[in-house]
Structure 1
């Protein structure tokens, strides 16, 4: 039996089910191509009709197509040879305006080092294309920023069940398949968003049953369709009510802690005024529940955090939201250091403190390290910095991390040298008080400041702020310091 997804692939944009807005945008892009000459990225979930729309557009415009697959053309020179040659080709036979459409499928596979130059090559191609180009992608944010910024973008949304049912009904009529209305609805509901999968399910059931019933659909089971974080954010901020948003969150592969960070950072892009304030109120409640989970290790309370993150934020929405929003990873992650190297430095220092002071890693990281970072900022309190380096046996890399200074600077190098001398002297004297001895003069200063400036560490905080102000003009300010990891 012929594959029904190919047999009933739309031959014209007018036959595309759902995504009317995206369909119209694609047609407008093609009609005005001579004016802008930009390539376009068509992105969205698998099975929503992206590739079908590209070929349907070519039929409507009378353009021959050249189709490439990024997974098969992984290297830069091959991409440039095939896509570049096709895009520049002007000598065509008898088609409208000498145009041909270049379709690059799975364009989101052109990223990282795996393609060995493919992403760079395709970016150069699209900026100098002599022919219309459509790049098809499932994961828009897997594509390079440069490539995305050099193309127009059109998002194909998941096809709603109400748009899938008519397509299934049409196929049944053409194939002479008898069916219950409830059966088609069940197939559409099960594959909500994925028209291609719905057609595949219809064909699979029709091949083994003379008449489609709802029971036939039920026994085929549910397809695993976990939601991506960007799809969830779009649904949360723009589409779903509180109950539906909560249900949608169950399919997102993120812990409540990470989900909170995603929502917290991106909600201002769609919400404003009173609705934003209300949303942040719910996120604050969620953070309290997560704090209780960390304190008690009772993970059953996660659900209360998720209730506030999903249902609460959705309920905060006022009015209709539309359009495309550029969501991004939480800035909190950037503060933590997006690279493993920075997190390893943080944990190394915390482990040294924990072992020396007899406290937990968590206490060292969350309560002690921020104070050390403030008091030794840019090594301004040099004597204390040397003492800290000696006591916790830190090298230049970790002194730089704590103080926010460049590890190759002379002051960090001299601090490490003096700390090593201090440790050797302490070892000779069989004394464990290297840090206590070096801290004496600093303690006298602290006591004098405290007497003149209040109690409860106020003077220490003021001095730390002064040190930061003094260091604001130094070249070392661009270095990653420990202060970012205080909370």
Structure 2
């Protein structure tokens, strides 16, 4: 069976539903592009028709499309290669082409790789019409936003979604109950694509079934029932069914389980649970990259069934889960840690977040292995907030503060040990016996530390010797790094 969202994707702007004002603004931008030459950014919630509108516009204007997804190509080099392709295409003919840059708001996640700056240069220097597509407008860099005209696509009302669902049913020859279509539209909260997928999932034997439309559920009560089901009580299959009954997206379920699992699981259970959560994050990344929401089921499988399956024994009693995860502050902390690990380990921030951080968290849980936690803290230059995040311990506790202090002492000691004497002789800043001024002595001491001084005869021998020492030190450091496995968890195994 073909995907109805693709089969019935609008082919002209006139078929785009629910955003007439934005649709007209996009059409006007294209009609007058030769006059202003600006790029445009279309932003709004997932499923409201942003990408469909861009392709429909290209069809109306007779423009071929050159498209790139920023979730897949985030680095400076990849974006510049794309810009080169776009420029090359313009030399092959005089006709216009539409350049579509999807998921533009995801560039900020890899700001260390120059993607956002390269994208801004591409937009400003483009000689062809450019459409950027984003879910979160303010997640784009200010420079990129200021280089583009803005058009917002708003959530589509249930009243506008129902006619679309009705038309699809009629074209497919599927029987339906109008009340069921209305409930599907209302449940998807402005997401037309989600409503179409929901309706197709309910189609069986030429009819749209009504199950799953029993009405609004209590979100707060159900999420805690879900936590108990997954972490304490139910089998993998039962936990998966509970997940389907909770009025939360897979992204939300992942946030809740990730935040609460250390309150119930420990040791091997916790490590195995984090593996399933990492897998769920991969699937959700594919959803963001492709806008293919069928991948949601695989994320939910890992979050619910996977985490429940690794539980070694059922738990009873009541658990103080606390409130909802503080996504903004937690995500900022997690991203900062991932960047530290990525820089040190020589991997991407995505790899650090999905493949390294969960294992570090399991191995250092509650700082029980103190030496390992100290080594991790020193290796990645973490502060109390970061150690607290990874280990699940309070950042103000004596244990965490002591670990951070010990890690700093260890780092300082190793720095001095491997400095080849560069920091020896703290007397360089003091006045010498002959009355030289502080500045002069400091300069002399600094020069001496690098193998030369004011009495150098000009042969450069001392400098050559220092260069040799530096080369030897570099070779030893590289050899030591090779022995350590050069990245990530191998430093602690």
TM-score (normalised: structure 1)? 0.46
Q: Pick the structure with greater CA Rg.
A: 1
TM-score (normalised: structure 2)? 0.45
